[in-house]
Chains A and B, each alone.
Chain A
Amino acid sequence: MSSSTLEEPCLIEKCELDRLIERLKCEGFIVVGPYVEDSAIQYREIQSMRDLPRGYRDTQEPGEYRVAKLLKKNYFEFNLGPHSWKQFLFPPKLTVNSCTKKNESWEFISKVDSQPKFAFLGVRACELAAIQVQDRVFMEGPYVDPVYQARRESTFIVAVNCTVAASTCFCTSMGTGPKCKSTFDLALTELDCGFVVEVGTARGRSMISDLTTRELDPEHARDSQLLQQRAVDQITKRLDTSEILNLLMGNLDHPHWDEVAKRCLSCTNCTMVCPTCFCSSVTDVSNLSGDEIERQRQWDSCFNVDFSYTTSGTVRDDIRSRYRQWLTHKLASWHDQFASSGCVGCGRCITWCPVGIDLTVEVAAIRNTPSSNRTLPVIQPSCKAECAFPKDSKA
């Protein structure tokens, strides 16, 4: 993927987008884009521009999401819904392989050899950043996830620059948006008269080769700038990330964790909607006679009690420790692990928390009243995890 655009942006009429979708389908891509269903703008396979949420606009608050059709005719004048592209690159449920007993031997069959080829339409800047984060997790470490890699490397990305922002957006604090800067094949900015198209890759350029494009005149360039600035101006939520690693890891015993724990349901919603959360569990499932076995992978969450179950018990046995684990990993220790923040500022965890917990507010509460000078996590003597590390252990 290119880190900058290959050439000067051009303009296409809106109906040309249908020709792009058609071209992608002809090239064997499953085109996935926004679609209104069940009171939300979701991502699913689309066939044409008719499927897009034209004229729809969402409003978001902590624990609240609404979508309504307005009189406007724009195709992309909304923000993020409950789905992220993660569900296509890192599917929620997957059979990894199977084995069958035949005569006296076992036959092993991989179930991941052939993966679908996606074209994503309408990926926002924060979501591009999230895909980059998951690339590091799944493809750039010592253990490459073959399913993610196969899907990711074949995916064609049509990004869209945000021209509006939700009250839960804070990409500007995380440095991820709202302008799409890299990781796309094509990027669109929607004007009233058409789409400004930026080309990010050679593949992107070839995909629009038979579209009718024209040069961008200064007026269109200015409109495009103004609309993107409008999104920036609408972002009101802030997360102060300065020294955040030391702030959070130095306040592991802050009383505010107890206060959050009173509200947090530990229901896993924030981790499920988070576009960077990557945990899964793997189980072997067999039939009653034990001669047909499948290895199944499913999304898991650090908010589940069983997630930290070890032979000596559950390590994070209360909501306080689980919320703290999630937040400190996402915003702080992720830096140590992957050299970036785990948060891209999309705000989904705020909107889709059933009781409206807002991580930016929780971090600010800790920042405003820091209570400790400790800078490294220490296992508490009272912590149940202690039994996992006996004091007389030589290891």
Chain B
Amino acid sequence: MIKYETFSESRIFKVAKPRMGVFKFASCDGCQLQLLSCEDELLSIADAIDIVHFLEASSHVEPGPYDIALVEGSITTNVDRDRILEVRKHSKYLVTIGACATAGGIQALKNWGDRSEYLRAVYARPEYIETLSTSTAIADHVKVDYELRGCPINRLQLIDVIQSLLADRAPRTPRHSVCLDCKCRGTVCIAVAQDAVCLGPITQAGCGAICPAYQRGCYGCFGPAEQPNCDSLADWYLAGRATPVELVPLMRNFNANAPAFRECGDRIDPLLDSGGTL
């Protein structure tokens, strides 16, 4: 997690309207779209900052430097690996947005596969494709000042981060589990009442605890909560209600490469073949 102190050093926003760029790497664009989904607040955002590079919204782009860079997507090619270094070089604050940028995204499933086999299966001429064998988070390549989790991110958290930079204060992005939000909205715990396989207890809040409110277990879209005890939850589920065949794909989902989920998934992975318990 990024230290809050980074922001308090800032005085630049007091003198000029800050310039913001939005940059896309390997991703689906859904998190950028959350910025456009800030319908009620979009004019205020445009009043407060100049959005000078945002290809999703306008083909007019300006070169850096940028006061704020919002970075969506993961690093999957050599070209992108070089490009993120350039973005970092020209940006005062680099904020990664979404599961791809913060953990490698769903495409990080390639980290467990055979790249050349995938290429042969998908492309008629695989020799034209140049790609890395892994999908990795932006923070694996450059210094990141703040992370916003989620698949997609929560637009209110995005506004809060932009606002915190403008107001020169620490952003408020809770790191507690989804469970607290379920309880605050009065949702009955589906793990306890319905034997659901729910990642809520080890997943960071931010989505508003949507899935359990609709009787679905949490998919872990916002990645691991602070200091999650993934092994205990996995063992509890494996002891009665879930098989490794169900649990491993749940750990290896949108945040498959987030360290806590990755390690837990890797720990129970050997059970896929044996079908046994730990």
- Contact of B188 with A265 in the complex, beta carbons under 8 Å: no
Given contacts A93-B184, A272-B179, 9 further A-B contacts (CB under 8 A): A81-B188, A82-B188, A83-B186, A265-B232, A268-B176, A288-B44, A288-B45, A305-B175, A352-B192
Q: Is B87 an interface residue (CB 8 A)?
A: no
Q: Is B47 an interface residue (CB 8 A)?
A: yes
Residues of the B chain whose Cβ atoms lie less than 8 Å from the Cβ of A353: 192
A residues at B contact (CB < 8 Å): 37-40, 42, 63-67, 81-83, 87, 92-93, 262-269, 272-273, 283, 285-290, 298-299, 301, 304-306, 317-319, 351-356
Residues of B contacting A: mostly: helix
Per CB-CB distance, the 6 closest pairs between chain A and chain B, nearest first, are A272-B183, A267-B201, A92-B184, A288-B44, A40-B188, A305-B226
CB-nearest residue of chain B relative to A42? B188
CB-nearest residue of chain B relative to A356? B236
Of B166-174, B246-254, B269-277, the one contacting chain A is B166-174
- Interface core residue of A38, A285, A286, A299 (most chain B CB under 10 Å): A38
A87 to B191, CA, bound (A): 21
A42 to B172, CA, bound (A): 31
Closest beta carbon of chain B to A178's beta carbon, Å? 23
- Contact of B228 with A265 in the complex, beta carbons under 8 Å: yes
- Interface core residue of B162, B175, B183, B195 (most chain A CB under 10 Å): B183
Q: Is B243 an interface residue (CB 8 A)?
A: no
Among candidates B163, B186, B233, residue contacting A288 with C-beta atoms closer than 8 Å: B163
A268 to B180, CA, bound (A): 6
- Contact of B189 with A306 in the complex, beta carbons under 8 Å: no
Give 19 CB contacts A-B under 8 Å: A37-B188, A39-B190, A39-B194, A63-B236, A64-B195, A65-B189, A67-B193, A267-B225, A268-B179, A273-B183, A288-B41, A289-B48, A306-B174, A317-B227, A352-B189, A354-B192, A355-B201, A355-B232, A355-B236
- Contact of B193 with A354 in the complex, beta carbons under 8 Å: no
Contacts A272-B179, A355-B236: A289 and B47 contacting too (C-beta < 8 A)? Answer: yes
Contacts A352-B189, A354-B191: A298 and B236 contacting too (C-beta < 8 A)? Answer: no
A285 to B167, CA, bound (A): 12
A265 to B201, CA, bound (A): 7
- Interface core residue of A66, A266, A273, A288 (most chain B CB under 10 Å): A288
- Contact of B229 with A266 in the complex, beta carbons under 8 Å: yes
- Contact of B227 with A262 in the complex, beta carbons under 8 Å: no
Q: Is B200 an interface residue (CB 8 A)?
A: yes
CB within 8 Å of A: which of B40-74? 41, 44-45, 47-48
- Interface core residue of A42, A298, A355 (most chain B CB under 10 Å): A355
Q: Is B159 an interface residue (CB 8 A)?
A: yes
- Contact of B44 with A265 in the complex, beta carbons under 8 Å: no
- Contact of A267 with B202 in the complex, beta carbons under 8 Å: yes
- Contact of A304 with B192 in the complex, beta carbons under 8 Å: no
Q: Is B255 an interface residue (CB 8 A)?
A: no
CB-nearest residue of chain B relative to A39? B193
Q: Is B177 an interface residue (CB 8 A)?
A: yes
A316 to B208, CA, bound (A): 26
- Contact of A319 with B227 in the complex, beta carbons under 8 Å: yes
Q: Is B6 an interface residue (CB 8 A)?
A: no
A92 to B225, CA, bound (A): 20
Closest beta carbon of chain B to A305's beta carbon, Å? 4
- Contact of A306 with B232 in the complex, beta carbons under 8 Å: no
Closest beta carbon of chain B to A285's beta carbon, Å? 8
Closest beta carbon of chain A to B211's beta carbon, Å? 13
- Contact of B184 with A40 in the complex, beta carbons under 8 Å: no
Residues of the B chain whose Cβ atoms lie less than 8 Å from the Cβ of A265: 177, 201-202, 228-229, 232-233
Q: Is B37 an interface residue (CB 8 A)?
A: no
Residues of the B chain whose Cβ atoms lie less than 8 Å from the Cβ of A285: 160, 172
Among candidates A37, A42, A287, A354, residue contacting B233 with C-beta atoms closer than 8 Å: A354
Q: Is B8 an interface residue (CB 8 A)?
A: no
Closest beta carbon of chain A to B179's beta carbon, Å? 4
- Contact of A269 with B176 in the complex, beta carbons under 8 Å: no
CB-nearest residue of chain B relative to A66? B193
A39 to B176, CA, bound (A): 26
Among candidates A38, A289, A301, residue contacting B176 with C-beta atoms closer than 8 Å: A301
Among candidates B44, B176, B200, B233, residue contacting A355 with C-beta atoms closer than 8 Å: B233
Contacts A301-B180, A354-B201: A65 and B193 contacting too (C-beta < 8 A)? Answer: yes
- Contact of A319 with B189 in the complex, beta carbons under 8 Å: no
Closest beta carbon of chain A to B227's beta carbon, Å? 6
- Contact of B159 with A288 in the complex, beta carbons under 8 Å: yes
CB-nearest residue of chain A relative to B233? A265
Residues of the A chain whose Cβ atoms lie less than 8 Å from the Cβ of B47: 288-289
Q: Is B215 an interface residue (CB 8 A)?
A: yes
Residues of the B chain whose Cβ atoms lie less than 8 Å from the Cβ of A83: 186
Residues of the A chain whose Cβ atoms lie less than 8 Å from the Cβ of B180: 267-268, 272, 299, 301, 304
Residues of the B chain whose Cβ atoms lie less than 8 Å from the Cβ of A269: 179, 183, 189, 201
A92 to B174, CA, bound (A): 16
A306 to B180, CA, bound (A): 13
Closest beta carbon of chain A to B268's beta carbon, Å? 16
CB-nearest residue of chain A relative to B231? A262
A355 to B197, CA, bound (A): 12
Contacts A39-B193, A286-B163: A306 and B229 contacting too (C-beta < 8 A)? Answer: no
A67 to B172, CA, bound (A): 39
